[in-house]
Structure formats: structure tokens, C-alpha cells
Amino acid sequence: MHDERRRIEERAERLHTQRIKPAIYAATVPLTVEAWQAPGEPVPFEEAAGAPYEPFAMDTPWGPPWGTTWFRMGGQVPAEWAGKRVETVIDLGFVGDWPGNQAEALVHLPDGRPLKAVNPLNQYVPVAHPAAGGERIDYLVEAASNPDILAGDFSGPTQLGDVLTAGDRPLYTFRRADLAVLDEEVWHLDLDLQVLRELMVHLGEHEPRRHEILHALDRALDALDLDDVSGSAAAVRAVLAPVLAKPAHASAHTLSGVGHAHIDSAWLWPIRETKRKTSRTFSNVTSLAEEYDDFIFACSQAQQYEWVRDNYPHVWARIQESVKKGQWAPVGGMWVEADGNLPGGEAIARQLVHGKRFFIEHFGVETKGVWLPDSFGYTAAYPQLAKLAGNDWFLTQKISWNQTNKFPHHTFWWEGIDGTRIFTHFPPVDTYNARFSGEELARAVRNYSEKGAGTRSLAPFGWGDGGGGPTREIMERARRLADLEGSAKVVVEHPDAFFAKAREEYPDAPVWVGELYLELHRATYTSQARTKQGNRRSEHRLREAELWATTAALHAPGYAYPYEKLDRLWKTVLLHQFHDILPGSSIAWVHREAEAEYARVAVELEELTAQAIAALGAGGARVFNTSPYDRAEVVRTADGVPAYAEVPAGGSAPLTDADPPQPVKVTGRVLDNGLVRVEIAEDGTLSSVFDLRSGREVLAEQGNLLRLHTDLPNYWDAWDIDKHYKNRYTDLLDADSVTVVEEDPLIGAIRVIRSFGKGSTITQTVTVRAGSPRIDFETDIDWHEAEKILKAGFPVDIRAPHSSAEIQFGHVQRPTHTNTSWEAARFEVSGHRWVHIGEPGYGVAVINDSTYGHDVSRTVREDGGTTTTVRLSLVRAPRVPDPEADQGRHRFTYSLLPGASIEDAVAEGYSLNLPLRVADAAGAPEPVVSVSGEGVTVEAVKLADDGSGDVVVRLYESRGGRATGVLRAGFPLAGAHVTDLLERPLETADTDGDGGVFVALRPFQILTLRLGRAADGR
């Protein structure tokens, strides 16, 4: 047989694209269109319905950046179309084929009911099937002219990312608004050809099946009448039917397809636009569910459901109905799909609590898995937190983006830092926006790492990132691919069903221990520093407000615990932990609003804390300690005067003239408090940090070295820091001034001011306080650099085989060597409040109050000693997608803690992030709870969410070893239960009958206790 592949393939390509696709709509008539440009922000339907409209012609430019144009459309179905399938087809002037970041519209009926959305790959609105002919069609269409931020493929900065800078030039040209007849036979022929052609080209040239399809296509196209595509479509399909009917091989891989529409809660659009995106996508999804009984749609992010409930009640009712029918599957059980590394431990717990409760309350559905396809790496604390929230499985996708090493598994058990394991899947289709193309199916089979043990994988299908979701074309592909020779089999099913089958066939799947580190997007630990600082401050202010509100509720008559306010504030903070807000990878508008929201949250939480403390009564200055550790440290009074205070964990004490420890001495550029002696060089760096307790020099070289690196990654500016950043840098060694600014027996401080770069300045106050070996670097940066990163380095004379970095409810250890490509790829890593390095008998910690990114490296000196260097990433200057990212003022503090154990690092991390509070209060009661036992650390104290008055305490083992102790209630105790994260009792806790609860924890174990209050307790 002659090889005619090229001729047949080219023939099929031309006839398919040039003759068959244009014939899908057999007849069209234009609608009349009028337009009204809404001023400013979007308006409700009622306002748009009463607005003055003007005639609008096709091919007219419309839509300023971030604008809203309402179109009034009308027409009549021709009588001769009776019995046909009639649709409205709308083309707003779509660019490309991605629905997420361009023009989108929601079509309403005249009474205000949302009907369906239109986007580039979903341009139709059903009218009648079959049509009676003569029907009147009237729509009011809300069209959003969102700019295409991705235009140019992120090649350069754009001002389109903020309504304040985007201008008002129209972005789109309206192309089409027609009534049309869908020729169903031609439409199905188009889909037959799509599936067969794509399957064919992805089969090997040696495969008989490829050639069988090739020649079937040739024969089928012989049956196509070019002058009557509609009339001959059935004949063409009849020729193709036998090759479409051949069943898949018995050993074919199975893809469990789950409808999906990844909607970033903010990214290249602001939160206000996401609220509208949810209505568009969800109206499309519920419309598709009415058409396809076998359709199942998985949707996460309770926050997005709440937006629809509050703003689009008709769409909300359709979602509720789809859930009842089993076609809509709430998944994920989180308030939003949060970043996987940066939120604090209690914040991730609350993500799970608020998400799961929402789905239980509104749908009667308890989600069973964590759905996080797109976050930028995942903390090793997740398995335990997921299981404690009642989850059985975990799904992610993003690890497929690894820059260096291919992740070895697709189905595996993921083991967290405490030993908890959760069944985890990583779809080999390598996308959460699958369309069931031939390329995707071939890739899923080729990639799948579990061959020989497992036979199935998950494929989330539907357009995403900016929403859109599944289309009827994707569903038709799934039906054709359900059992087709040469292809993987596709079955549309609930993700719970997939995970149950995968676990049943592969119970002994391999185990991955520790974090799921993404070898990409490492700069998300640092970009948009003010957003990250807002999150860190908010998390700690929430802890503080809950503790003192609980104290007041227990002991202050008439005080009402602020359930609603705390719930609302938590949800605001959780929303901004979304995986493109907190990581700093969104447009300018998003981060401008995030900073404003954090400022508002701070004001409200300060008010709540002050009100709770005031409810305890006035009576003189007292010091309040929100930290879970007893503290003896210097605090400033309301007048700024230093004082020394000793305060119990979670409690308060009078501000008295306690006897201070050895005073601080300031001699020239030397600070000495009897514990550490700090010498500052003329250039403002640390020339020496001498630990007077152990008699050893801490530094191997100059410390607090500020190094400015060129920072231009290969592609994703705000997301990435690539290894070559290390090769070009400037050490900031020219100090404008080095000045003693405080010389007090309790505090000694020296200020260093530097100017550099493009008008940037750094003012650092190096502070040593009486009684503490901690050295603080209070930092004020006026930052005007571009494509740079600033790091602060501490080269320590320690031979540390690994570093330890705090994560949620514990810490992880990472090697300091680069023996393998896996270690070398971790050249930038994340941590929370501290990083610790140590050798037997001695350790040093670097503490921070808002920094997450850092690196740890080691070198061997000529004298044979080892220098281990910890460097904090302080601030970056990416230009895409926000050209002004991080510009301006930054204020934060980081600290060096010589002679530190892990427990010291934990305690000082809390202390730096939870400053002692001085307030006028009466003699406050004893702490709500107190804990004995080393390593038992209280993370949260609050009243139970159900309003019962029970006290909920969340604690964990913080050192990495076993811990035992007693938690003692500061109120009459009626009983105690161990609960899950949702505060549902699991078992009765062991008490001593005298207000104490026995606690025994494995390394890094999280324990939630629900404490009942005796009748005589308030």
C-alpha cells in the first residue's frame, strides 16, 4: 500500500476547518442591539434595566479597561425555523480562546434572571429545542471589558493591571449577535472528526489503528457533498461509525473525568470581577447539567459559593438543585484554595473549618478531600490538618511544573511531619483544565508513573483559571472516548468515587515523606511584601483578639463574645490567603485593595482586643502576654519609657518596677547586656557577635550583610527567582551614618542609615535589651529598585548538617548540602517565624515578623571550620504583572538569637510576632488555660463556634519529640473532649478532677480540646 498519510491528513484538515465547521450554524438572523456604558463600577440589574440605551451596530469598538457595558438585544425566531434547534450566538470580539482574561458577558432575561454566560468557547445561549417559530427573544446582557493582561505573554510590564492606570480606550470590537439554527448532524460530525483526528496523530506510526482511522477518514470525506454539507453529514458519520464503535483494549488506562472550572479568586482581575466570574461560570455549568444527565462538576472554594448566594440568588438556587441531583460536587472543604506554604497553622485549620461547615450547612454535604490543584508547593503539615478536618484524600497538580526534578509518583501516600498519611493523587494529564484532546489523553497514559500497579487517574476537565468551565463539546468528547480503541477510557464521575477506586486497587501505594516542594515560583515567598506582612499581622491579631475576648467572656459580667465580627474578620483574612493574592502574583489592583483590607482588619481587631481588656475593668497599667510562653522582657509604657516585665503565658501582670537583669552598656559601637556583646563595624555590618554565656564568637564573617542582587527570572517575574540571581550582586557597605540612638539600662540601640541604587534608603536600628540574647534589626526601607532582590545574611560559625524552618504546627529540616539535584533545587525555601541552624551543643536562630523566603548555604573555610549562612529575602522588585510591585515604604523586624535551641526559637518567634501589650486594666484573672510540659504549645484559645460557651483550645508539640503535660483551666471545668478541627467530639479527654486535662503528644501532634464550663462558671 502506498503511503498517503500526508494527502489524507491535509485533506481532512482543510475540509474540517473550511467546510464542516462553518456549516454548524445553518441559518442566522441578526438581533437588534442597543448599548449603555455603566459609569464606574458594576451596577445591579435593576439599575441597568432602567438606564437609557442607544442603538449599537456590529463592528463597533466598545469597552474601556475594566468597564461594564450593558447590551439590550431583541429579535424574533423566523416561522420557518419551527422544529429546529435555535440558539443565540454572541461574539463580543473575543481574543484567542482563553475565557478567563478578556471580554465576558452574562445574559439575563427581562425579569432579571441570569440565563447563561458567553465567552470565546461558549458563545451560544439556547433559545428553543425544538423551536415553534415566531418566538420573541429579549435579553439584557452585562458585558465586562476586562483587559488581556497576558497579551505579549508576560513579556513586559503593563499599566492595564489597575483601573487607576489602565486608561479608557475601548479594548474590543463587537462582532456578532445573531439568532441561529444549530445543525446538530454537522455539529456531531465536527466532534467525530475532532476525536478521531486527534487520536490518530497521537498514535505511533507503527500502530495499525492509526492507519485504520486514516483511511476511514478518507472514505468518509468521499461521502461529503461540498455543496450540501448539511445534507451529507449523516452519510459521512455513517462511514465513521465503525471506527468510533471499536472498544478500548481491556488494559486501557481509565481517566476519571471530573467537570471543573478553576476560578482564581483574584489574579489578573480584582476580587470584584471574580464575584461576576462565578455567576457566569456557574450559570453555564448548571445549564450544561440540564442538558447532560451524566455530567458531574466538582467545585471548591466556599467563598465563591457565598458570593453567588449573596449576589445571584437565581444561580444559587440552580446550584442547590444540581447538588441534590448529584451533578454538582462541592469539594476541597476550604474557604478558598489558599497558598500551600504561607498561611499560618491556625489559618489553614480555619480554612478547612469554614469551608467544610459552609458545605455542610448549605448542602448537607461533608467534603472528603482537599482540592488544591494550583498552589505553589504544599506544607508538610497538610496531611495531619486534612485528616483532622475529616478528609480522606488530597489532590494537587502544580508539582508537574517542577523546573529540575520530575516528581516520581502520581498516586501515593503523603506523610506529614507528625506521621499522618493521606491518600494523594497528582493527575498525569498535567492540567486541571483538561479538554480531552488527543494530546492530553496520550500524555496522561505516557506520564502515569503507577503502571503495573494502578490503572486509573483523575482528569479535571473544563476551561479554568479565569473560569468558563466545561462545555458541551467537552462532554461530547468524553462520551466518544468512553470506550474507544487506541485511547484511554474516559468515565465522568465524582472525585470521591475515583479516590475510592484508586485506593482499593493500590492500597500499598508508595509513600512520600515531607513537604511537596515546587521547584518553581520560589519568589512567591517574598513578592508583594506588604501583602505578606498584612497576613502575618492579621493572623496574630486574630489570635490576640480571640484570647482576650475569651478571657472577658469568662470573667466580665455583661461582656458578649464577638462571634459575628471574628467570623467575618477571619473570612476576610482567609480570602486574602488565596494562592495568587498572598503569594504576591496578582495585578496591582488586587494588592492595593489587599493592603487596604489588612489595614481595616487591623483597626477592627485592635478595637475588639481593647474592648475585651476594658471589659475586665480599669485599675492601672498592666502588661498582657498573648504568647503561649512565660515572658520576662523589656516593654515600653504608653509614654515610650522602657520597663521590665514578667508575664505568664496567655495572662497579664501589673507593670511594676521589677528588678532588671544586668543592664545594657553602650560603648562606642558596642552593645553589651551581659549575655551577648555586639560590635558594629564602621560600615554598619556586625563585625562580632560574642555569646558571653558560652564564650564563643557566633559569626564567621561580617553579619547582617545586606546584598542587592539582580533578579530577572526567565519567565514569571512575580513568581520566580532563578538560580542565576546569585551571580550578580552588590554588597551594601557604604553607611551614611552609624549612630547611637538609645542608651538606657534596659535598651541599647544603634542606627545605621544607607542610601543606594535608584534613590532607595535603608534605616536599621540594631537593638539589644536587658535580659535577652536576642538582637533585633528594626528595618525601615524606602524602596525604589527594579528587578532586584535584597537579602540580609548571617554567616555563622556552625557546622550544621541541616537547617530547621518553622512551618504550620512544627518545623521541617532541610539539608544544607547539595549532594543531589533535589537538594540543589531548594536554593530558595519558605519558613514562618524562624530558621534554626545548629551543631551538637550550640545553635543559632534567625527570627522574623513578616518574612517567609530564605536560603541556607554552607562553605568550608581554609582553617577547616564550616560557615553556615542564613539569608532572609527582604524585598523584591518584579515588574510583571504589577509594574510597581513593592515600591515604597516597608517596615519590619528580624532578629538574631545566639545560643538558641529549637524551643528558644519557637518561644522567641511568638514573642517577636506577639508584642507585649500595655493597657489600663484591673487585676486580671488567671489565664484561660495554662500548660505544663516542655514542648506543649498552645496555638489558639477561643469560645466554641456553636455558641455553647465551651472553651476550645488548640495545642501542638513544637520541638519534634514526645511531650506530656497537664493543661489546666482557669475556670471551673465540667469536662473535656478531644475534637476534630470542626470542634466535634471524638473522645473524652483524661482529666484529673481538679481542672486539669492530661496531655500526651507525639512529635508535632495537633490536639484540639473542648472544655466544658461548670454551672457556677460564667
Give CA–CA dist 768/897, Å, rounded.
11
Q: Which three cell numbers stand for residue 63?
A: 469597552
Give CA–CA dist 905/903, Å, rounded.
5
Question: What's the 3-state SS for 663-732?
Answer: CCEEECCEEECCCEEEEECCCCCEEEEEECCCCEECECCCECEEEEEECCCCCCCCCCCCHHHHHCEEEC
The neighbour count for residue 741, using CB atoms within 10 Å, is 13
- Edge to edge, the sheet with strand 369-371 lists 369-371, 393-395, 421-425, 411-415, 511-513
Annotated catalytic residue, options 192, 374, 855, 904? 374
DSSP annotation of 752 reads E
Question: Of 703, 696, 732, 651, which is closest to residue 899 (Cα–Cα)?
Answer: 696
Q: Which residues of 909-937 are buried (b: 16+ CB within 10 A; e: fewer)?
A: bbbbbbbbbbbebeebbbbbbbbebebbb
The neighbour count for residue 252, using CB atoms within 10 Å, is 17
What is the dihedral sign for C-alpha 19, 21, 24, 26?
negative
The neighbour count for residue 1005, using CB atoms within 10 Å, is 22
DSSP annotation of 334 reads S
339 is annotated as an active-site residue: no
Q: How far is CA 850 from the centre of its chain?
A: 18
What is the number of alpha carbons within 13 Å of residue 865 lying toward its C-beta?
14
> Is residue 493 within 8 Å of 257, Cβ to Cβ?
yes
Question: Of 920, 833, 818, which is closest to residue 345 (Cα–Cα)?
Answer: 833
Extended beta strands in 233-299, E state:
254-259, 297-299
Burial category of 164 from C-beta neighbours within 10 Å (exposed 0-12, middle 13-18, buried 19 and up): exposed
> Is residue 154 within 8 Å of 147, Cβ to Cβ?
no
Question: Of 448, 396, 403, which is closest to residue 822 (Cα–Cα)?
Answer: 403
Give CA–CA dist 277/285, Å, rounded.
12
Give CA–CA dist 1002/253, Å, rounded.
41
Give CA–CA dist 469/262, Å, rounded.
7
Distances (CA, A) of 77 to 86, 820, 1011: 8, 68, 67
User: Cα 456–457–461 angle (5° rounding)?
Assistant: 135
Question: Of 352, 509, 353, 498, which is closest to residue 421 (Cα–Cα)?
Answer: 509
Give CA–CA dist 769/748, Å, rounded.
6
Burial category of 324 from C-beta neighbours within 10 Å (exposed 0-12, middle 13-18, buried 19 and up): exposed
Return phi, psi of residue 652, to 5°. -140, 165
Determine the 3-state secondary structure of 185 from DSSP: helix
DSSP annotation of 369 reads E
Specify which residues 812 forms β-bridges with. Answer: 805
Dihedral angle computed from the Cα positions of residues 752, 757, 759 and 763, in that order, rounded to the nearest 10 degrees:
-20
The neighbour count for residue 639, using CB atoms within 10 Å, is 6
Give CA–CA dist 921/926, Å, rounded.
14
What is the number of alpha carbons within 13 Å of residue 329 lying toward its C-beta?
25
List residues with catalytic annotation. 374
